[in-house]
Amino acid sequence: MEKWVLFVKGILLFYIAGNYVQTEEVHYSWVMVSFFVYIALNVALYLVGRLSRMFLLLGSIILIVVGSIHGYALLLLLLPFSVCEVFDGKAPHVIVLLVVSLLPLFFFDIEPFLYSASAAGSCLLWKMNTTYYCKLVANEQQLDQLRSHVQRLNVQVHENEEDRKQSQYMSRLEERNRISQGIHDHIGHSMTGALIQMEAAKTLMMVDQHKAKELLDNAITISKEGIEDIRLTLKNMKPPIEQLGVQRLKQKLDAFTRNTHIKTSFVFSGNLDVISALQWKVISENVTEALTNALKYGNVTEIAVSITVYNKLIKVVVKDNGVGATKLIKGLGIVGMEERAALLHGTVIIDGSDGFSVTLLLPHERS
């Protein structure tokens, strides 16, 4: 856009120069000096800071006025552009700009039509320039915002993935721990017991057959129990994710009640096993967000949280008894909830018609 400004100034200069050559006016030196100083000043505009720029612009206005009085009157055509430039980014209404640039008409002797045309052209161009510039800046800003937003989301995706791996690893560790504990505590003991009994039976075999048989029977019973133990240990291998998730959510709600004196209730039904660690994370984050919202806006005394697992779907509802909202405006919080849900192919329904309720629907992960 600066190129345009320079281009138009150049055209004006050429026009003035052309006209000057055809006239018989003489103030040769004045005109030449005005020309060169004007060019110098206007090129310098782009090399200096804001304050110096103002001085340069004032300088070129004075130059134009003086030049047109002592040299060649048509130099005044350059004036409107410089006046516009003084306003810089804070462009007033284009009419105001035009009126200001037309003022010299009353003080100087110049062809009114030509001057008006030049003033109008300059003002329009300048207005276009600034509008364009403002839009450009706004767009850039928006682009930056979006970029940082994308960045944030990427980080979040990454974190979630990490989290999932982490919790998978943790639950495996816990599991291994539990199994080795179980083997040590039960199976190891019964096997040792059985072994001792059998050793004794072997020794007694020749001496007291009756006693030996008793010992062997014992060993058999102990072995059977051992096998049962193995079966139980293996059967109880259910991952603790479910208990952990419910437990955490309960603690969170309890803490919330303690801090805010808002009553909370929590119910769940269905097979919670299907909820994965990552889903628990999203559920927990969204419930937290919903609680915060209720606290901020709702005039709330009670909040009910429920988790229901259906055949293909997990439904989490956080509902309060507050004033609700007839008109919903999506703030960052709600958008955040939606984004987290969308990450797991779920949706969020917000309803403010009866209290305020936030429903999170997540499909099962394996389907």
Partner 1 sequence: MNVLELKNVTKKFGDFIAVDQMNLFIKEGEIFGFLGSNGAGKSTTINLISSLLRLSAGDIYLLGKNIAQHRRFAKMNIGIVPQDIAIYEELSAYENVRFFAGLYGLRGTELKKHSEEALVFVGLGDKMNALPKTFSGGMKRRLNIACAIAHRPKLIIMDEPTVGIDPQSRKYILQSVRQLNEMGCTIIYTTHYMEEVEEICSRIAIVDHGKIIAEGTKEQLTNIITDTKEVWIEVKAIGSFDAEVVKQMKGVNSVRVEEHVVQIISQAEVTNLHEILHYMISQSLEIVSLKEQAPNLESVFLTLTGRNLRD
Residues that bind partner 1 (CB under 8 A): 308, 310-313, 315, 317, 319, 327-330, 347, 349-351, 357, 359, 361
Is residue 27 within 8 A of residue 70, CB to CB? The reply is yes
Distance between CA atoms of residues 315 and 297, nearest Å:
24
Q: Which is nearer to partner 1, 56 or 287 (CB)?
A: 287
The least CB distance from residue 76 to partner 1, in Å, is 48
Is residue 182 within 8 A of residue 235, CB to CB? The reply is no
Q: Which is nearer to partner 1, 186 or 315 (CB)?
A: 315
Distance between CA atoms of residues 14 and 57, nearest Å:
20
Q: Which is nearer to partner 1, 301 or 347 (CB)?
A: 347
The least CB distance from residue 350 to partner 1, in Å, is 6
Distance between CA atoms of residues 92 and 366, nearest Å:
62
The least CB distance from residue 342 to partner 1, in Å, is 9
Q: Which is nearer to partner 1, 179 or 343 (CB)?
A: 343
Number of neighbours of residue 287 by Cβ within 10 angstroms: 24
Count CA atoms closer than 13 A to 179's CA, side-chain side.
14
The least CB distance from residue 363 to partner 1, in Å, is 8
Q: Which is nearer to partner 1, 221 or 308 (CB)?
A: 308
The least CB distance from residue 329 to partner 1, in Å, is 5
The least CB distance from residue 325 to partner 1, in Å, is 11
Helices (H), 23-111: 28-44, 50-70, 79-87, 94-102
Structure tokens at 98: 């035009």
Report helix, strand or coil for 309.
strand
Is residue 116 within 8 A of residue 77, CB to CB? The reply is no
Q: Which is nearer to partner 1, 19 or 142 (CB)?
A: 142
The least CB distance from residue 257 to partner 1, in Å, is 23
Residue of 120, 230, 236, 252 lying closest to 186 (CA atoms): 230
The least CB distance from residue 66 to partner 1, in Å, is 55
Number of neighbours of residue 92 by Cβ within 10 angstroms: 12
Say which DSSP state 236 is in: T
109 phi/psi in degrees, rounded to 5 = -95, 95
Q: Which is nearer to partner 1, 86 or 328 (CB)?
A: 328
The DSSP bridge pattern shows strands 357-363 and 347-351 to be antiparallel
Distance between CA atoms of residues 293 and 123, nearest Å:
50
Q: Which is nearer to partner 1, 101 or 357 (CB)?
A: 357
Is residue 277 within 8 A of residue 164, CB to CB? The reply is yes
